[in-house]
Amino acid sequence: MGQLLDGKLLAQKRAGKLKEKVKDLKKRGLNPLFCVINIGDDPSSQLYLKTKKKRAAEVGIEQQVYQLAQNETQNNLLTLIDRLNQDEKVCGIMIQLPVPDQINLNEALEHISPSKDVDCLTPSNVGRLWRGDHFVEPATAHGILALLDYYQIDLRGQNVVIIGRSSIVGKPLAALMLERDATVSILHTKTKHLDEYTRKADILVSAAGQAGLITADMVKDDAVVIDVGINRQNGKTIGDVDFAGVLPKAKYITPVPGGIGPLTVESLMEQVVALTRRKNGR
């Protein structure tokens, strides 16, 4: 029977430590100010923003939301980013996804100052990630590594299979796991025969966003299964993994909810604090 990788618990533990760090920063007059730009009225974005705000408040980080209209122009968005880049008080900036169609997201991301790029999505921070001289890490990937470390699961020489090649999860996670000496395969919607890869994975990470994608027959005995999927089904939140089926087979498995989700939010706050410290040379 698989052991649960308790992301919620670890997130709480790390939040406790982070709170102390923030206290310490504030004593020195440094106030981590985190700005989120939200464009339009996507309902799940609203939910994420609320969760982030709550977590931020718990560790003592001030989160400001800049709410733009659904039909906001690219120009106005860039002007706002410029303003936040120049504002000495702002430590971290992120753009809440998804954005409306008229927004050129890549251009907007390039506009964020790398020194305030909480999500590690600006070109130079992505490049530093792949070169191994990074200081900011994408929240989900950072959270996954923290969880593996906490349970002392070594990556060196392990066969890691990642499903999903997004800029926010799959690709940066591949970079960080390669750096830890894992052998990494990146699978995606165009991959034929997913199971031929997954069945050999020592560590399987699913970030496909597809409920029930990973069934027991696709998982190796004693594998570590990390479920990054967040899918709504019949009013419930479930992952990509058929949890009940895979649990008996896996050595370790993350639940959904309570696995990677809470760690992602917590890791985001850690990045805000890291940027604040760096900005002030500590």
- In 3D, which of 27, 10, 1 has the Cα closest to residue 280? 27
Of 6, 52, 117, 171, the active-site residue reads 52
| Whole-angstrom distance, CA of residue 79 vs CA of residue 265 | 27
Question: How crowded is residue 152: how many other Cβ atoms within 10 Å of its Cβ?
Answer: 6
Q: Where would I find the H helices in 114-259?
A: 123-131, 139-150, 170-179, 194-198, 243-246
What residues does 252 pair with on adjacent strands?
3, 224
Q: Which of 115, 191, 210, 237 binds a copy of itself (CB under 8 A)?
A: 191
Closest CB to a copy of itself among 63 and 206? 206
**Is 52 marked active-site?**
yes
Work out the angle between the directed axes of helices 43-59 and 7-27 (0-180°, nearest 10): 60
- Say whether 60 counts as a known binding-site residue: no
- Say whether 165 counts as a known binding-site residue: yes
| Residues between 15 and 54 that touch a copy of itself (CB under 8 A) | none
Buried b / exposed e over 79-106, threshold 16 CB at 10 Å, is ebbeebeeeeebbbbbbbeebeeebebe
Residue 256 CB, nearest approach to a copy of itself (Å): 25
Closest CB to a copy of itself among 3 and 106? 106
Stretch that binds a copy of itself, among 46-54, 176-184, 240-248, 272-280 (CB under 8 A): 176-184
Of 6, 117, 119, 240, the active-site residue reads 119
- Say whether 112 counts as a known binding-site residue: no
Binding site for NADP(+), residues?
164-166, 230
Q: Which residues bind a copy of itself (CB under 8 A)?
A: 106, 122-131, 133, 156-157, 159, 165, 167, 171, 174, 178, 181-188, 190-192, 196-197, 200
